Amino acid sequence: MLLGGFRLAMLIALAAIVLAVLAGLVVALMRLSPWAPLRWIAFVYTQLFRGIALYVLIIWVYFGLAVAAGVNVAPIPAGILTLALLNSGYLSETFRAGILAVDRGQREAATALGLTPVQSFRSVIAPQAMRVVLPATGNQLVDAIKDSAILSVIGVPELLHETQRLAQFYFRPFEFYTIAGGMYLVAVFVVSFLFRILERRLAHESPVRMPRGRLFGWRGVFPGTPTPGDIEPTR
Amino acid sequence: MTPAYHFDWGVVFANIGGLAKGLEITLEVALVGMAVALLLGLPVAIARLGRFRLLSWLANVYTQVLRGVPLFVFLFWVYYGIAALLSIALKPFTAATLALGLTGSAYMAEVYRGGLQAIDPGQREAALAMGLNRAQAFRSVILPQAARIILPPTVNVFVGLLKGATFVSVIGVADMFYLAQIVSLRTFTPFELYSVAGLVLVAVTTAVAGFVFVLERRLSRGRVAI
């Protein structure tokens, strides 16, 4: 039962991040658009979802808005959508910084070669920006895994929800919560490790030398620890 | 479709005092948690950077474990787990500040470490050469310089704790959501109460987050590239 909850937590986090990457990309492009109103909308979107707490949003959407509008939202889709919205706010800033990190000459060269703006973004800018944003995207997935625990409050049967149920049933709270904490820790560890491997793969193919983090050891594997590959969203 | 929902904003005004009290409790949890994080984070960072291998290793494990476990799960672990293990009854408020403070201290330790490492080793060497002892050099040369670098990420940690303080009602801390839950069971007005509680918390968190945004711009403007 714990493993079932664990699997659901991973699936929810993954689905949320996939959606957040798509939305974040759109918002990042809007923020870089030459048309001012689009930029403002994107700016407000980013600031709003980076400022709001997941618990506040999920409670409001699930217990407030849904009741008032008389719609029944299933807990899992509601949870995925909320997680995706919040993460897209952070990812849009990451993507914007990544796109801006690609040398201007690259775009100019692409234009000079006769590529349309869409072509130049897809085949020149995006592949280079991807390497830059990869570590931060990995950290975002780690955050989504940790945040998915909050979805237990709307009854999503994920890891924490199952833990609470079992802890009450057997009256062994310390053991169950410790195991749950350990499972989150392992998930975080593994995801960070996989992203670090992916980062190395891409760095190999890159014509540009990318800084390399440590593959093994606490320092390189865990999220949030500043490593040479991480980027700070520039403003 | 459920039957049409009857809006009744009067319930918000009827409970305005309770909501204000709830907000005060949320802010109190965040501030006390932050104080614990500020106090506890520094020794952890110093241990991490220190010469003693074992202490440094322990400090590293401490920060990585506390940052890897979700705060939401840690809160339950402290409130139900620790209480059952030691057979003591923690007050919800104590458990909440403890969980927030400990998690915050792990994040603060990393912030302190980043700030301390950013100071040129020459500064310390110069201070020692001038006859200051190590504690003096740390207190009056390194720390003041590190403080400037540390400030914006510190406020970011506070934003994180403030967001964490929004969900302490799950262990029974009587914040705005706790009140909203109890009152709406009686009056069936979840939308009004949750909306007000949500909007107030969004306003507080975005205001502090906006403050970081301005602060970072300010500080980066004056910074000289070395």
Distance from CA of A118 to the nearest CA of B (A): 32
Q: Name the residue with higher pLDDT: A112 or B13.
A: A112
Tokens read off for B34: 């932050």
Q: In this structure, are residues A101 and A132 in contact, taking their beta carbons and an 8 Å threshold?
A: yes
Q: Is residue A70 within 8 angstroms of chain B, CB to CB?
A: yes
CB burial of residue A73 (10 Å; 0-12, 13-18, 19+): middle
> Which residues in chain B touch residue A54, judged by CB atoms under 8 angstroms apart?
163
Q: Which residue has the tokens 């914006």?
A: B152
Contact B81 A178 (CB under 8 A): yes
User: Tell me, what's the pLDDT at B7?
Assistant: 77
ipTM at complex level: 0.80
Contact A56 B4 (CB under 8 A): no
Of A155, A163, A168, the closest CA to residue A2 belongs to A163
Q: Name the residue with higher pLDDT: B188 or B219.
A: B188
User: Tell me, what's the pLDDT at B224?
Assistant: 45
Q: Name the residue with higher pLDDT: B47 or A209.
A: B47
Could you tell me how far CA A222 lies from the centroid of its own chain? 16
Determine the Cα–Cα distance for residues A217 and A222; give it in Å rounded to an integer: 9
Q: How confident is the model at residue B219 (pLDDT cuts 50, 70, 90)?
A: low
- Reported as a single tens digit per residue, the pLDDT across B112-161 is 999 988 888 899 899 999 999 988 998 888 888 888 888 888 988 998 99
What average pLDDT does this structure show over B192-201?
85
Which residues, at least 6 apart from B60, have a Cβ–Cβ distance to it below 8 Å? A218, A219, B48
Of B203, B199, B201, B195, the closest CA to residue B8 belongs to B195
Of B220, B173, B211, the closest CA to residue A51 belongs to B211
The backbone region for B65, taken as left when phi is positive above 0, alpha when psi lies in -120 to 50, beta otherwise, is alpha
Helix ranges restricted to H, chain A:
2-31, 36-51, 54-59, 66-69, 75-101, 104-112, 117-120, 126-147, 159-170, 173-205, 218-221
Q: Which residue has the tokens 């110069």?
A: B126
Mean pLDDT split into 10-residue runs, chain A, 235 residues? 91 96 95 92 90 87 79 88 94 92 89 90 89 90 94 91 91 91 93 89 62 46 39 39
User: Tell me, what's the pLDDT at A151?
Assistant: 93
- Distance (Å) of CA A227 to CA A210, B109, B137: 12, 16, 28
Contact B202 A160 (CB under 8 A): no
Going B133 to B136 to B141 to B145, the CA torsion angle's sign is positive
> Which residues in chain A touch residue B163, judged by CB atoms under 8 angstroms apart?
53-55
User: Tell me, what's the pLDDT at A233?
Assistant: 41
- Distance (Å) of CA A86 to CA B46, B100, B117, B120: 34, 21, 32, 38
Q: How confident is the model at residue B221 (pLDDT cuts 50, 70, 90)?
A: low
Interface probe for B, chosen from A45, A62, A67 (most Cβ of B below 10 Å), is A67
Determine the Cα–Cα distance for residues B198 and B118; give it in Å rounded to an integer: 39
Contact B72 A149 (CB under 8 A): yes
Q: How confident is the model at residue B71 (pLDDT cuts 50, 70, 90)?
A: very high
User: Residue A171 carries which DSSP code?
Assistant: T
Which of B81, B110, B201 lies nearest to residue A53, judging by beta carbons? B201
Residue B105 has pLDDT above 80, yes or no: yes
